[in-house]
Structure 1
Amino acid sequence: MEGMDAMADFVAEAFQNEFLSDGGTDVHAIVRITASNASGATAAASGAGGVEVIIVDTSGSMGERGIQQGALAATAALQEITDGTLFAVIAGNHLAWQVYPPSPVPGLAVMNSANRAAAMGAVRGFRADGGTAMGQWLLAARQVFETAPASLRRHAILLTDGANEHETPDQLSWAINSCAGVFQADCRGVGDRWQVEEVRRIASALLGTVDLIPRPEEMASEFQSMMRTSMSRGVANAELRVWAPQGAQVLFVKQVSPNLEDLTTRRREVNPLTGGYPTGAWSDEDRDYHVAVRLPAKSVGQEQLAARVQLAVGEEVKAQALVKAKWSNDDALTARINPQVAQYTGQAELAAAIQDGLAAKAAGREDEATSKLGRAVQLANEAGNAEMTSRLKKVVEIDNAETGTVRLKKQVEKLDEMALDTASTKTTRVRK
């Protein structure tokens, strides 16, 4: 695996308006990190393809159809795991247990044709019964991952169909926090009885994605796709490092593409002037990060380095972009907002408006819901985001998109609300 990390190439570039007005303090930049030669194919072929754990909800609410499709989904994922990869399958209801390898103690099997066939046989034995305690599932997965070397890429797929009713929110939070940094997890909810916010909390803390699978029959193709993506990641772990000068304050660090993820609170002190922010595993891809730094104000004509943004794999810095500040009294220069910064700021506001609006609607606060979702329609319209506008149309009647004048629909499909909610954190790439 270390060999693969060494082969991967990273490039960093910053997009910003470096001009600040006299007395201005806040510098915003979008830093794009592009990875190449980071594919996981070579790593997997060398037997260092990491660790995969498949976690499937087997609670009573899954029912016969759900369990059958869950087994097919687990099978589809198992077929994508490359030989040499370490793997396990966990079933969860109000408890959690290791279905494969069949052992009373947590452990992993090495993927090969015999173990793949045995695991596929084991998942056919899934039975639906009991409640839902996702914290138990996560803790069981953590125990399994901790039997593998920490240097390997560690990834889980978690599937649920319901709300977390058999443990307290605090118990779930404790489980999530104890798994953060141990493994990454992509989470999927099937049907309309799970809670997007709850599952998003898990995926966000574990540097993964959350999405809706409307029908059980769609699970297998989604599992296949998620596992294929995971297999392509040849860099197990990387860190975004942000240096800011003495006296400066890093206001925030957010991933803004391909989805929105606020990394600010996950800062690790690298040294007194540098913070490290986790990015998880990489394949050949690019991601955009929004970095905001507050500097002590300087007078017109002065300039300084506002931030150094680096991508590090282990202790090796692979790429660097510089964020600059120049103070000017030329309004034509200082008033310009960089288009990348502007568009991603708008997309973050759009996501917040959608999530707040749906939460207000669920709580019966109709005026607030109308106002927030109206603002979302206005932002989507301004950005020319036709896909988000069409999702919003399933939840509100749009009287005037430009002013954000809307009415809440009386009859709304729960799946349409959930699809809007999960799509809110996915961003559209801003072109150069």
Structure 2
Amino acid sequence: MKGAESMRDAPEFTLEVSQSPYLSTSDSAVHAVVSVAALGLPAGEAEAAEVILVDCSGSMDQPPTKLAAARQATAAAIDLLRDGVLFAVVEGTHDARMVYPATARLAVADPDTRAEARAAAGRLVSGGGTAIGSWLRKANELFAPHPAAIRHALLLTDGRNEHETREEFERVLAACEGRFACDARGIGDGWEPRELRRIVSVLRGTADSARRDADLVEDFRTVLRAALGRSVPDVRIRVRTLPGTRILFLKQVFPVQSDLTDLGVDLGDRTWEFGTGAWGPEQRDFQVCLAVDPAGSPTHEDLQIARVQLAVVPAGGQADAVLGRPEPLLVHWTEDLKLVTQVDAKVAHYTGQTELAEAMLAGYDAFAAGDHDGARARWGEAVRLATESGNDDSLRRLRRLVHIVDGAAGLVRVRENLEARDLLSVAVGSGHSTRIRPSDLLAPDPVAVTGADRTCQHCGRVSPPTARRCVLCGHTLEPQG
């Protein structure tokens, strides 16, 4: 199901819904993948504002190569700022201090201000603690006078958020949500991956790490190029449910996984809106799950249970523009086993990507707790899922931790003397997903044709012996035998 519309003087987006509507009357959840693509957007023509938040706590000088890399990477990012971009550099410790400009405002990029900012970045020194919320609060204050700009922060840290409470940190995140986007990077081996993933989940960014201090310069350049290439401040997914239907979750599932459910805004009339942040020419996929009730509904026909539509905030604008016709989400109640065991290929793929992320992170937790057998089992599961889906980024990270004996079967051996940076890379990168391969859309998975019914360990639903994924929730079923 597809819908696309181009408006004069407005960006062009396409919206596609992929689902299998068939559901047994004993089931109660409908899953669908919503694919959104931005076409022909003018790269980097909108007003832009950038704040670079650099951890300068005492640990950044242990070893000194971390702070040196931060100085160099910040200078490299400054060099990429085109003339006219509003920007600032902030030193982050247990507080936030202006590095450039000297006063709490954004400078305008030109040859002179870029040179001054590079010089200021070269004078960064370490000392103090870590209160990441104060850094984000400062960025929010700097962005506040510029509501029409596409606002982005780049945050670098080497430590845990130890100098403010969790409640304080969450309050700051809530205040910043929807105001600007943030990409977060970890350096060294003392930071907490879940903190970075929490930041970017709320602030619609990406989290990753520099395995080597020298890698930071090119990573900063990559992040800045992407941020400055965006020209649409926000794209919002609107879901309007029909009576008897409610939203269980809505998540971004590609290119990175991010749960948007709790960030939705109730517009009334059973309509919820989920902001996805700034866009450039790109594609993203989202998974929506709806709770439904078969009571009183007709069977053996397609029934609309919700509709999804895009609303785009144009550059420099405050009001959003609704694009395209609404696309329906359907349910078809039936007891036909051949129909209800059909799982949409995209839904199955992204359910598998979620399982992959969970397995990577669970292995990290097990290893940190001293449970090396548990780590091997979970990383083996992750290798199997990554191999099955073609997630080469996850496999690259996992190979630093395990010897892969049989990727398809998930047989691995944990390497000796694992480095903390490689462990952190797996944990923070666990949310990076891959799109479904075209071949997986065309060809069904090979399955056994005989055997006993299979019970999902995730939700308890019984599936037929031919199923590789649960017919209700889409999770991978345990191998038979």
Partner secondary structure for residue 7 of structure 1: coil
Per-residue CA deviation, residues 372-405 of structure 1 (Å, 9 max, x unaligned), is: 3333233234335455345334334556655545
Matched, 1:134 2:140: no
What is residue 304 of structure 2 aligned with on the other side?
Answer: 305
The amino acid that maps onto 2:81 is I
Residue type matched to 2:17 in 1? A
Query: Which of 319, 329, 334 is matched with 1:328 structurally?
Result: 334
* Identity %, equivalent residues: 37
C-alpha displacement of 1:231: 0.8
Indicate the structure with greater helix content.
1
Q: Which amino acid aligns with 1:420?
A: V
2:166 maps to 1:161: no
* 188-197 or 164-173: bigger deviation: 164-173
Separation of aligned partners in 2, 1:5 and 1:140: 37
**Residues 27-426 of structure 1 aligned to structure 2 (within 5 Å):** 27-43=30-46, 49-63=47-61, 64-103=64-103, 106-148=104-146, 150-297=147-294, 298-314=297-313, 315-319=320-324, 320-366=326-372, 368-385=374-391, 387-396=393-402, 401=407, 404=410, 406=412, 408-426=414-432
Distance in 1 between residues matched to 2:9 and 2:132, nearest whole Å? 36
Instruction: Supply the distance in 1 between the matched residues of 2:208 and 2:280 (Cα, whole angstroms).
Output: 20
Which shows bigger deviation, 30-39 or 382-391?
Answer: 382-391
Kindly tell me the number of residue pairs found equivalent between the two proteins.
421
2-structure distance, mates of 1:208, 1:155: 9
Taking structure 2 as the reference length, the TM-score comes to: 0.82
The aligned residue for residue 469 of structure 2 is none
In structure 1, the residue matched to 2:316 is none
Is 1:10 aligned to 2:13, yes or no?
Answer: yes
Cα distance in 1, alignment partners of residues 396 and 229 from structure 2: 32
Name the counterpart of 2:449.
Answer: none
CA 1:307–1:376: 2 relative to 1, 3 Å: same
Tell me how far 1:213 sits from its aligned partner: 0.8
- Structure 2: unaligned runs, 5 residues or longer: 1-6, 314-319, 442-481
Q: Distance in 1 between matches of 2:163 and 2:262?
A: 29
> Residue 264 of structure 2 contacts residue 272 of structure 2 at CA under 8 Å; is this kept in 1?
yes
Runs of 4+ in 1 over 6 A off after TM superposition: none
Deviation at 1:326, TM superposition (A): 2.2
Supply the distance in 2 between the matched residues of 1:270 and 1:238 (Cα, whole angstroms): 16
Return the alpha-carbon distance in structure 2 between the equivalents of residues 40 and 214 of structure 1: 30
Shift of 1:340: 0.7
Q: Distance in 2 between matches of 1:233 and 1:294?
A: 35
How far does residue 426 in structure 1 lie from its aligned partner after superposition? 0.8
Aligned to 1:46: none
1:82 to 1:257, Cα distance in 2 relative to 1, 3 A: same
Letter in 2 for 1:20: L
| Alpha-carbon spacing, 1:282–1:361, altered in 2? closer, same or farther (3 Å) | same
Is there any run of 5+ residues in structure 1 with no aligned partner, and where? Answer: 44-48
- The C-alpha deviation readout for 1:244-303, integer Å capped at 9, x for no partner, is 111101111111111111111111101231111110000011101111112221342232
- Give the Å deviation of 1:356: 1.9
